[in-house]
Amino acid sequence: MDVLRQILLVLHIVGIASLLGGFLTQMSALRTGDGRIVPAMTHGALTMLVTGLALVGVVQAGLDKDVDNAKIGTKLVILLAILLLVWGNRAADRVSSKVLGAIGLLTVANIAIAVMWT
């Protein structure tokens, strides 16, 4: 079970890299207001959701560890907001700097919550 948890955690981190990396590629376009949602962002956000939910199941199924429901619930709500923004704008040629900035901020906020909320 622990190997499965570790594999899912690796994929969870790959998802963060894809979501945040996709956002970072749009940083210079963000200043001019002609950034867009790149596939790495949609795929990364979906990967976060799938691996996150699977991690909850695997951790809950183990006998020695429990998830912090308030922390996971907060991360889930933030990720759903990110998903709404990336999915809703994925076909647009240009995405406003506010939307792109919000995606970047919310992603970094979730990383901070994951690491600092103990």
Site string for ligand HEM, 26-65 (x = CB under 6 A): ----------------------xx--xx-xx--x------
- Residue from 30, 72, 83, 86 touching ligand HEM (CB under 6 A): that is 72
- Nearer of residues 76 and 102 to ligand HEM, judged by Cβ: 76
Q: Is 35 left (phi over 0), alpha (psi -120 to 50) or beta?
A: beta
Determine contact, residues 6/43, Cβ cutoff 8 Å.
no
| Least distance in angstroms from the C-beta of 56 to ligand HEM | 5
Give the Å distances, CA to CA, from 111 to 1, 15, 40, 42, 89: 24, 12, 17, 17, 23
What is the Cα–Cα distance from 1 to 62, expressed in whole angstroms? 7
Residue whose CB is nearest to ligand HEM in the complex, by number? 52
The footprint of ligand HEM (CB under 6 A) covers 5, 9, 12, 16, 48-49, 52-53, 55-56, 59, 67, 72, 75-76, 79, 82, 107, 110-111, 114-115
